[in-house]
Amino acid sequence: MTTPSGHTSAIRGKKVLGTTVKDRNGQVIGEVEDVVLDKMSNNIMFAVVSFGGFLGIGEKYHPIPWSALDYEPNEDAYVINYSADQLKAAPHDTIEELTRENGAYRDKTYDYYGVARDWQ
């Protein structure tokens, strides 16, 4: 199956990691640090996007619903419909905390962004 841009619907995780994330105005928000998988449902829980900081100091990690990331080949980036201010107020934590518990961050994230749950 192919996407509207002609790409296949499958993508390797290592190709996603490090990809730039921008807002709709073309401003760089951060980059994909990780993709968190739910082993029980076999779904992607969320992408972890780094935001802010310098050389890893003061950086925040935001869980973003996978379906909220639109890859734009011309930008070589994922584009989201959220502003920097929305991200600043969004759920965030360390990568370790985001992956430690059993879905609480996933639920908070999907609620915050108003994204339909694709695992129900």
pLDDT in tens, 48-81: 998 876 555 667 889 999 989 999 999 899 999 9
Q: Indicate if the pLDDT at residue 17 is higher than 80.
A: yes
Q: Give the residue among 50, 53, 44, 55 at the shortest CA–CA distance from 110.
A: 44
- In the three-class reduction of DSSP (H, G, I as helix; E, B as strand; rest coil), residue 68 is classed as helix
Q: Give the DSSP H/E element, type plus range, for residue 103.
A: none
pTM: 0.81
Q: Which CATH fold would you assign to the domain 13-113?
A: SH3 type barrels. (2.30.30)
Q: How do residues 20-56 score in pLDDT, each as one tens digit?
A: 999 999 999 889 999 988 887 788 889 999 887 655 5
Query: 103 to each of 29, 51, 57, 88, 95, how far by Cα in Å?
Result: 24, 21, 26, 21, 14
Per domain, the residue ranges of the chain are: 13-113
- The predicted pLDDT at position 43 comes to 81
